[in-house]
Amino acid sequence: MLTRSERATGDCVTLMHYARKGIITEEMERVAERESVPIETIVKGLAAGRLIIPANIHHKNLDPMGIGIELLAKINANIGNSAVTSKIQEELKKLHTAIHHGADTVMDLSTGGDLNEIRQANIDASPVPVGTVPIYQAAVDVDKVEEITPDQLLDVIEFQAEQGVDYITVHCGLLLAHLVHVKKRITGVVSRGGSILAHWMLHHRQENPLYTHYDRILEICRKHDVTLSLGDGLRPGCLADASDEAQFAELRTLGELTERAWQKEVQVMIEGPGHVPFDQIQMNVEMEQEICHGAPFYVLGPLVTDIAPGYDHITSAIGATMAGYAGAALLCYVTPKEHLGLPNVEDVRQGVIAYKIAAHAADIARGRPGARDRDDALSRARFQFNWDEQFRLSLDPETAKRMHDETLPDEYFKTTEFCSMCGPKFCSMQSAYRIDRIDEVLKEIEEESSMEQAEAKNT
Amino acid sequence: MLTRSERATGDCVTLMHYARKGIITEEMERVAERESVPIETIVKGLAAGRLIIPANIHHKNLDPMGIGIELLAKINANIGNSAVTSKIQEELKKLHTAIHHGADTVMDLSTGGDLNEIRQANIDASPVPVGTVPIYQAAVDVDKVEEITPDQLLDVIEFQAEQGVDYITVHCGLLLAHLVHVKKRITGVVSRGGSILAHWMLHHRQENPLYTHYDRILEICRKHDVTLSLGDGLRPGCLADASDEAQFAELRTLGELTERAWQKEVQVMIEGPGHVPFDQIQMNVEMEQEICHGAPFYVLGPLVTDIAPGYDHITSAIGATMAGYAGAALLCYVTPKEHLGLPNVEDVRQGVIAYKIAAHAADIARGRPGARDRDDALSRARFQFNWDEQFRLSLDPETAKRMHDETLPDEYFKTTEFCSMCGPKFCSMQSAYRIDRIDEVLKEIEEESSMEQAEAKNT
C-alpha cells in the first residue's frame, strides 16, 4: 500500500494513475473502509473514471472520501465570503459548522478579503476535500474582468494546486458557439464563472481560455492530483431555461473534455443544474451519465420551483433527492439565503441538514446496503419512548431536543409516553394501546363463534 | 344554477348527487372558475368520484374548492390544540396563518379545551373547508377509550356535521383481521384514531364500530354533504413498516367502502401514508388509484426518512412532491414539530410554505397549464434586478425581504445589480455581463476569419 508521500513523486501523482496500474494507495483503502465496499470496487471505479477521490497531495490532514454512483451519495457545502461581507473567523466557523453537521466536501467561494490566506486557512483546518473556482481569484486580481489573461489564470490554478486544493471548478466546456443559445433564455448566464468567461470571450472575440489551454490545466492536475470539476457555465437559472440547447451543447463539450482528462489520468466530475422541473431531473442525470461516459455527476440542487426565495434549501433538497435517486453522486447544497444574500453560519447549518436529508433519502431509495439502519434504530427508540436516544440518533439532536422541550422542558417528560403534540391520552404509541394480545383475542373470538355455532346446533 | 340554500333540501344534498343528475350548483361553478377548467370537468369528475368539493351545507362562509387529479394539487394544514397546550385565540391565529400562506383546507385536530366551541369558531372563521377526526371528541368525552359506544360516536359525527364540518376522517376500513399484520412492525399503529379503535376492538372483542355502522355514517353525510376522508388507521409510522400487508389490507377495505359511499352519492377521499421510502411513493399512489377506483388520494407527506425530527416539514415535502407528481390530490402538511410537540404559529407557517413548494413543484412537473407562470415572472424580475417585484412574487415576501435586508438593509440596495451573496463584481446577472451582442460578435469573428483566409490566398 502506497502512502500519500510515497505517491507524491513522479510526473503523474493522481489516484486514477495508480488505480490504472493496479497500485493500491492509502486513500483507496480508507475509502473502501469508510464505505464498507471491497477495495476492488474503489480501484476499478477510479480506473474507469466513474469514481473519484479528490485528494491533493499537499492537503495533509485530509481524511479521504470517495464520490461515485457505487458509493453513498455525498453533499457539498459552499462557504466563503464576498466583497460585501468578509471575515476570516466567520468563514472558519462556517467550515466547522458545515463539517460538524456532515458536509462531505466544502468549496471556498470567497471573492473578498485576502483570498490566499482564507483558502490556506480552510485547507489547513479541513479534514474534507476543499474545492475552489480559480477564476474568482483571477477576477479579483484585475480591475475589469476582460483584463484577465490566460497565463494569469493558469498561474492562479497552479498556485491553488500547490496550496492543496482538492478540486477546482473550471468552466472549460463553455464555447463561443454555445452563447447563441443563451439569447432565448429568461435569466441568461447564471454561473458566476460562466458569466465572467462569456464577457471575456465577447470582449476579446476569442474562444474560452480554459478550453484553449485545457492541456496545461491537465498538466497541473497530474502534478498535484487536483480533481477537475468541469463547470456548467450555462446551467439554467430558472425553470424556463432548463434542459435547453445551451445547457446540453455545453454538456456535450464536457463529455469530450472528460475523455481528454482520462487520457491524461486526471480525475473528473461534471457539474450540473441548477433550476429544473421535477419531471426533468431523472432525464438530466441519465443524459449526463451517457454523454460524460459515467463520470460522477455533481448537481446544484436542482431547485424545482423559482418562487420560494428564502426557502431554496427546501426547493432544492426536493430536486437533490430526485437527482441522488437517479444517480447523481455529489449534491451541492443551497442555503435559505440563495438569491438573497451571503449565507451566515445558521444558513450553512440549514443547508447542510436539508442536504443530509436529501442524500440519505436517496441512498435509502437506491437500496444501498445498511442505508436504513439509523432510521430503524431511531424508530425503535421512538416507539419505546426513549426520548434521549431518539434525539441522539437525529440529524440535529440539539434542534430536536429544543423543539421537544419548548412545551415540556421538565426532565420528567423525557420518560413519559407522550409529547405535547398528542398529550397523555392521544399518543398512538403508548403501551396501553399496544396490540400485543391480538393473536389471543382473535383466537378467543374464533372459539366463541364455534361455541355459538355448536350451541345453535344443539338447540 | 343551484345556490347553496337551494340544494340544502331533500334526503341527499351532496354535490355528487347533483352532479350525477347533471344539475350545476354554485359550488361547481366557483371551482370551475378558480381552476380555469370547463364546468363539465367538474360535473363529470364529481359524478365519477374522482373529484370532490368538500362543502357542508351549514358552512356558510365557505369559498368552495375542489380536490382531484384533474385540478391543481392542494395542501391541508392540521391545526388544533392538545390537552397539554390549549388556547382558543392561539388556534384562531394558527387558522389565520395557515390560510394566509395558502392552505387549501384545514383540519381541527383539537383534543383539549372546549372542543365544540373551538370547532365552531374555526368553521365560522374559515373560508376553506374544515375537517375533523370525530373519534377524538368521542375519546375526550369518556374516561377510558373503551367506554366509547357506537351510538355516542355516531352522535358526535352528527353533531359535527350539523356544525358545518366539511370532511371527517373516519377509520372505517380498520378491521380486526388486519391487526395481526401489525405485530411485525417496528412502530405498530401510529394513527391516533386507529390506535383508539384498535384498543376498543381488542377490549370488546368486536369489529370496528365505524365499519359495522358505516351505513349510518353515510346517512349523516348525505344529509349535510359531509365528505368522507377514509382514514388509514394502519399507515406506516416508519420506513421499515411502509407498504406492508397491514397497510394494503386496510386499503383494500377502503376500496370497498369507497364503492358503498358512491352508491349512496357520498363524496370520498382516501388517506395515505405516512413514512415511505422515496422509491415506493409512486407505487403507493398508483395502488390507491387502482384499488379505490380513482377516488382522490390525500397523503400525509410522506416522510422519506425517519432520522430528521425537527425537520420533518422538509423530509415530508420531498415525499409530498413525489406523491403530487404521481397523482396525489391533497397533501397534508407536516410541521417541523412533528414527533416532538404541538406546532405553534411559526411551525404552522413553516409547514404551509414547505407544502406550497411541494404542491407547486408537482403541478409544474405534471405540466398543468399555466403552473409555471409565476416562476417565469419571478425569474424575469430577478434578471432585471427588480428586487421589490421579486419579493412580491415570492411565496413568503416578508422572509425573502428580511433575508436580503439582513446584510444590505439600505433602500439603495433595492435597485442595485447585486446582493451580498456575490457583491458588485461577481453577480452573473448584472447588465455588464449580458451577452446581447453575441450575434454581432460571432458575425465579426466570421468575417475576420474570411478576410484572413482571403488575405492568406492573396499572399
SS3 string, chain A, reads CECHHHHCCCCCCCHHHHHHHCCCEHHHHHHHHHHCCCHHHHHHHHHHCCEECCCCCCCCCCCCCCEECCCCCEEEEEECCCCCCCCHHHHHHHHHHHHHCCCCEEEECCCCCCHHHHHHHHHHHCCCCEEECHHHHHHHCCCCHHHCCHHHHHHHHHHHHHHCCCEEEECCCCCHHHHHHHHHCCCCCCCHHHHHHHHHHHHHCCCCHHHHCHHHHHHHHHHHCCEEEECCCCCCCCHHHCCCHHHHHHHHHHHHHHHHHHHCCCCEEEEECCECCHHHHHHHHHHHHHHCCCCCEEEECCECCCCCCCCHHHHHHHHHHHHHHHCCCEEECCCCCCCCCCCCHHHHHHHHHHHHHHHHHHHHHCCCCCCCHHHHHHHHHHHCCCHHHHHHCCCCHHHHHHHHHHHCCCHHHHCCCCCCCCCCCCCCCCHHHCCCCHHHHHHHHHHHHHHHHHHHHHC
Query: Residue B459's pLDDT is what?
Result: 67
The conformation of residue B337, written as its DSSP 8-state character, comes to T
Query: Is A181 an 8 Å CB contact of chain B?
Result: no
> Quick one: closest CA in B to A314, which residue?
B314
pLDDT at residue A155 in the model: 98
Q: Please write the tens of the pLDDT for every residue from B51-107.
A: 999 999 999 999 999 999 999 999 999 998 877 666 888 889 999 999 999 999 999
Mutate to test the interface with A, among B334, B435, B445, B448 (most CBs of A within 10 A): B435
Share of chain A above pLDDT 90, in %: 83
Closest-CA distance, A20 to chain B, in angstroms, reads 35
pLDDT of residue B74: 98
Nearest-Cα distance to chain A for B397, in Å, is: 8
Give dist(CA B79, CA A374) in Å, integer.
30
Query: pTM, whole model, 2 decimals?
Result: 0.96
CB contacts of A427 in chain B (<8 Å) are: 192
Question: Would you call A314 and B357 a contact, using CB atoms and an 8 Å cutoff?
Answer: yes
How much is the average pLDDT of A195-201? Answer: 94
Q: Do B396 and A310 lie within an 8 Å CB cutoff?
A: yes
pLDDT at A46: 98
pLDDT digits (tens, 9 = 90+) for A28-55: 999 999 999 999 999 999 999 999 999 9
Mean pLDDT computed over A325-340: 97
Which of A85, A194, A315 minimises the CB distance to B428?
A194
Residues of A in contact with B393 (CB under 8 A): 307
Q: What is the pLDDT of residue A52?
A: 98
What is the per-residue pLDDT for B450? 80
Residues 31-60 of A with CB under 8 A from B: none
Checking if the pLDDT of A74 tops 90, the result is: yes
CB proximity A431 to B under 8 Å? no
Question: Which positions in chain A touch B341 (Cβ < 8 Å)?
Answer: 403-404, 406-408, 419-421
> What does the pLDDT average to over A148-176?
98
For testing the chain A interface, which of B314, B345, B372, B417 should be mutated: the one with the most A CBs within 10 Å? B314
Taking a contact as any Cβ pair under 8 Å apart, which residues of chain A between 301 and 330 contact chain B? 304-311, 313-315, 317-318, 321-322, 325
Contact across the interface for A82 and B357, Cβ inside 8 Å? no
Which residue has 441548477 as its cell numbers? A274
Q: Do residue A364 and residue B239 have CB atoms under 8 angstroms apart? A: yes
Contact A308 B112 (CB under 8 A): no
Cβ atoms of residues B232 and B274 within 8 Å: yes
Q: Which H helix or E strand runs over B199? A: helix B192-204
Whether residue B190 lies within 8 A of chain A, CB to CB, comes out as yes
Diameter of chain B by CA atoms?
107
Burial of residue A54 (CB within 10 Å: 0-12, 13-18, 19+) is: buried
Nearest to B186 among A195, A376, A441 (CB): A376
Find the CB nearest B435 among A190, A202, A240.
A202
CA-CA distance, B175 to B197, in Å (whole number)? Answer: 9
Q: Please say if the pLDDT value at position A324 is more than 80.
A: yes
Would the pLDDT of A376 be above 80?
Answer: yes
Residues 66-95 of A with CB under 8 A from B: 82-85
pLDDT in tens, A430-448: 877 777 777 777 788 778 7
Unique residue bearing C-alpha cell 476569442: A206
> How much is the pLDDT for A439?
78
Model pLDDT for residues B313-367, shown as the tens digit of each residue: 999 999 999 999 999 999 999 999 999 998 999 999 999 999 999 999 999 999 9
B438 touches A: beta carbon within 8 Å: yes
Beta-carbon separation of A423 and B111 below 8 A: yes
3-state secondary structure of B10: coil
Q: What would the pLDDT profile of A77-87 be if each residue is shown by its tens digit?
A: 999 887 766 68
The ipTM assigned to this model is 0.95
Instruction: Round to whole Å and give the CA distance between A270 and A253.
Output: 11
Mean pLDDT over each residue of chain B, to the nearest integer: 94
What does pLDDT average to over chain A? 94
Please, what sign has the CA dihedral across residues A393, A397, A399, A400? positive
Mean pLDDT of A364-389: 96
pLDDT at A437: 73
The pLDDT assigned to A452 comes to 79
- Ranges of chain B with pLDDT below 70: 84-86, 459
What pLDDT shows up at residue A427?
Answer: 82
Amino acid at B128: V
Looking at the complex, report in whole angstroms how far the Cα of residue B367 sits from the nearest Cα belonging to chain A: 9
A249 CB within 8 Å of a chain B CB: no
* E-only strand ranges, B87-136: 105-108, 130-132
Q: Do B421 and A338 touch (CB under 8 A)?
A: yes
Question: B192 CB near a chain A CB, below 8 Å?
Answer: yes
